[in-house]
Homo-oligomer: A and B are copies of this chain.
């Protein structure tokens, strides 16, 4: 049974606090194991990578087998259903259009003193995209990670994907091709992250590693952070639905279950001011679970981490939504835009009854790689910005240096950095 909380009950704050603090994932301490693998690949390169692949993926390869060939990719594309390929192409095109709008402009201006200032954006030269194997191999995620990189201008986009027992998902290879991936290697785990960060004879190192993975992948990313850039550490996924009495209980139940089916540690939450709707949604969830293929996963998620929170009025939902900071926020109320404008922390908002979150997962155009586990309080979904960097620009002439130099010299001296002051004083004949 999901948790039921009532904003007006005396112990609400305490129970809501406990609900927020509850961990949804066993934080297995795999740091030591990941570190050993990363260090080994950093030291021994391909040999260590091949050994780890034999051990963890039960796949014996030579270095010359690591890269997925163009012929294999072509064969995979041919093996895909035409309608599915068309759907992937639609997704690709819409993701590309949306993300093109994110491209920032360079800036250059001259201030009142005549100082020239500004900044310039350039793309990261190379990026590595980690794609999980097995059941969590989602072609849509390949597009969501690859397309913003290509839009940003990344020239070398390397994908790693484990092929346990030699199996690769053809749709994942097809999505890689559609997304503009330039190299694919059949490796995964901490060893793949290490290869991308440190490079091997076969895999040249990249500047940044993105994409979700298991606990070993997450630990490896944390270890190589600094040597290369990384994206967020992905946690279990969640949806928050805020609905009033106009909400359709069946639709809301379906959306809660679409989240719950991902993973037993996924989380689905409903906040409503309608006791009638809350009751109807609970019934609808139970009814729909009966025929859901992934009912075991979805019902575990709903029972262990699901929640229905009652509020007296919808304004009370705002601070709760900000505290939850949901990855996905669906608003199905009479005026969803007005409510959304008051909420600060959410990865993505889906407005109105006709915007199920699943549209955003696939073909909306916005990115489905979003901050999980309350990290929308401080981070954003994946975007072209993750593949760009900004160089700041400063240019003084003699007059500007004369105007600004003395203050900088005072601060240099105050900080005990005399060579800083001298580098200015020498130019102004002040030293």
Q: Which residues of A contact B (CB under 8 A)?
A: 81, 83-84, 86-88, 90-91, 97-98, 101-102, 104, 107, 109, 111, 115-117, 119-120, 122, 124-125, 135, 138-140, 171, 207-208, 222, 225-226, 228-229, 232-233, 235, 250-251, 254-255, 257-258, 260-262, 288, 292-294, 298, 322, 336-337, 340-341, 344-367, 370-371, 373, 375-381, 383, 385, 389-398, 400-401, 404-405, 407-408, 410-412, 414-424, 426-427
Contacts and interface: CB of A to CB of B under 8 A. Distances in A.
B364 A407 contact: no
A254 B422 contact: yes
Contact of A412 (B260, B358, B366): B358
A278 B73 CA distance: 52
Contacts of A418: 261, 292-294
Contact of A378 (B207, B394, B415): B207
B348 A396 contact: no
Contact of A423 (B322, B356, B373, B377): B356
A88 B393 CA distance: 21
A408 B359 contact: yes
B380 A111 contact: no
A92 to B, nearest CB: 11
A379 B229 contact: yes
Contact of A377 (B97, B125, B378): B125
A228 B378 contact: yes
A357 B294 CA distance: 60
A241 B183 CA distance: 35
A425 to B, nearest CB: 9
B139 A111 contact: no
A367 B90 CA distance: 41
Contact of A344 (B125, B336, B344, B375): B125
18 contacts: A84-B410, A104-B104, A115-B365, A117-B365, A122-B344, A124-B378, A222-B225, A226-B373, A228-B378, A251-B426, A261-B418, A294-B419, A349-B394, A355-B396, A358-B421, A361-B412, A362-B420, A363-B411
B389 A378 contact: yes
Contacts of A416: 135, 293-294
Contacts of A396: 352, 354-355, 359, 364
Contacts of A398: 354
B86 A408 contact: no
Contact of A420 (B261, B373, B393, B394): B261
A405 B389 CA distance: 36
A377 B124 contact: yes
Contact of A87 (B359, B381, B411): B411
A116 to B, nearest CB: 7
Contacts of A98: 117
B84 A378 contact: no
Nearest to A348: B392
A364 B404 contact: yes
Q: Name the residue among A97, A293, A385, A391 with the largest chain B CB count within 10 angstroms.
A: A391
Contacts of A91: 407, 411
Contacts of A226: 232-233, 235, 373, 375
Contacts of A88: 411
Nearest to A289: B419
Contacts of A363: 404, 407-408, 411
